[in-house]
Amino acid sequence: MKARITLITLGVDDLDRSLKFYRDGLGLKTEGIIGEQFEHGAVAFFELEGGLKLALWPRSSLSHDSGLPKESPSATEFSLGHNVSSKEEVDAVMRQAQDAGAVIVKTAGDTFWGGYAGYFQDPDKHLWEVAWNPQMLPAD
């Protein structure tokens, strides 16, 4: 297996609500919901940096497709990290997420590893870390 991830799919409870959060609130680019003509097909894709895509798919559809039972989500199973260029940008993204309806789990602040970071949850309780890491600055 090559160490390559091309798509991250988040199971969501309300596809319309999640679309609005990521598109309208966070400003991610998307064509909107597609595939509604297929049973278990409605999905929204978002273009991310480096060719990576984020997909929002109803939890019930993900359960149906994988054959696994739908379970209660746990916010601490994984987190998505958004690395930015400055402490001020961390604060700006955290405000943007909160204004979009995110729940701030941990207010941004200095970290033990020499950076600056905070956490928020999207409407489906997926955990996002917004971080400034002086050793891992983004290319832009």
Domain segments of the chain as ranges: 7-65, 79-132
* Gap between the Cα atoms of 109 and 37, Å rounded: 45
Q: What is the pLDDT along the chain (140 residues), one digit of tens a residue?
A: 777 889 999 999 999 999 999 999 999 999 999 999 999 999 999 999 989 999 999 999 999 998 999 988 888 888 999 999 999 999 999 999 999 999 999 999 999 999 999 999 999 999 999 999 998 888 87
CATH number for the segment(s) 79-132: 3.10.180.10
Q: What is the pLDDT of residue 80?
A: 94
Residue keyed to tokens 């999640």: 18
Phi-psi region of 27 (alpha: psi -120 to 50; beta: other; left: phi over 0): left
Cα torsion 133, 73, 102, 91 to 10°: value is -10
* Gap between the Cα atoms of 122 and 128, Å rounded: 8
- The amino acid present at 140, given as its one-letter code, is D
Q: Say if domain 7-65 classifies as CATH 3.10.180.10.
A: yes
Pairing of strands 43-47, 53-58: antiparallel
* Gap between the Cα atoms of 32 and 23, Å rounded: 8
Q: What is the pLDDT of residue 61?
A: 95
